[in-house]
Structure 1
């Protein structure tokens, strides 16, 4: 198992940091959406293995990403798109908490659908 001092993990983190530093706002959103989808998959695995401590950390990462995405919205100037995304992110946050409390990986499926749809919309903007 890889630990936090693993050179490969350090390389991955450095590469991610470099990508984030050079990213446009649209690229940053896509990176966050991709990261969220990856973390949801990890959360599901932790739920299935009943690894509650890891699940808790993973759900927290997911919530932080969703809140980060939400905080990037311009609700004053973004019109209906920003308002709709705000509602979707709120739904995802609530659904993540419900899935965690119930330790139900199936409850993550609607979140994955929503985030994939949002990601597709962002991809079509480029």
Structure 2
């Protein structure tokens, strides 16, 4: 079973690498948010199952994705939108921290809601830009 998991994980990574190589910056942001949301769900499951080591790993991955999204913002050219995204990413980092320290899924649910709204905004932006 372990060998099958390793093969599947390798296949997934190759597929992800291929998608990222051909993605636009807009698509890359959506891919990062999707990966974030998947990892956040894992973190919630780890908290519920009291797998605290695994929870820490998932929270760390989420934090890294948020830091990556935040570091890609151009606060000068992006104006108010970029500043608002920065504030939202910072809020999410604080909520992730609180959720991790307290093992409280409510904080992670707050993050899920914010990131879902951000994703919807990015999707709408992409549809508008494609017209």
Q: TM-score if structure 1 supplies the norm length? A: 0.95
1:85 aligned onto 2:85? yes
- Cα distance change on mapping 1:122 and 1:79 into 2, 3 Å: same
In structure 2, the residue matched to 1:62 is 62
Q: Which runs of 5+ in 1 are unaligned?
A: none
Higher RCO (CA-CA < 8 Å; seq separation 6+)? 1
Q: TM-score if structure 2 supplies the norm length? A: 0.92
1:31 aligned onto 2:13? no
* Displacement after TM superposition at 1:66 (Å): 0.5
Q: Deviations over 1:29-87 (max 9, x none)?
A: 00011111110000000000110110010000000000000011001110100000000
* Displacement after TM superposition at 1:5 (Å): 6.6
In the aligned structure 1, how far is the partner of 2:119 from the partner of 2:62?
15
1:43 aligned onto 2:43? yes
In structure 2, the residue matched to 1:116 is 116
Aligned residues: 126
In the aligned structure 1, how far is the partner of 2:3 from the partner of 2:73?
35
In structure 2, the residue matched to 1:125 is 125
- Cα distance change on mapping 1:65 and 1:110 into 2, 3 Å: same
* Displacement after TM superposition at 1:90 (Å): 0.2
In the aligned structure 2, how far is the partner of 1:4 from the partner of 1:95?
36
Provide runs of 4+ in structure 1 moved above 4 Å: 1-5
In the aligned structure 1, how far is the partner of 2:15 from the partner of 2:100?
30
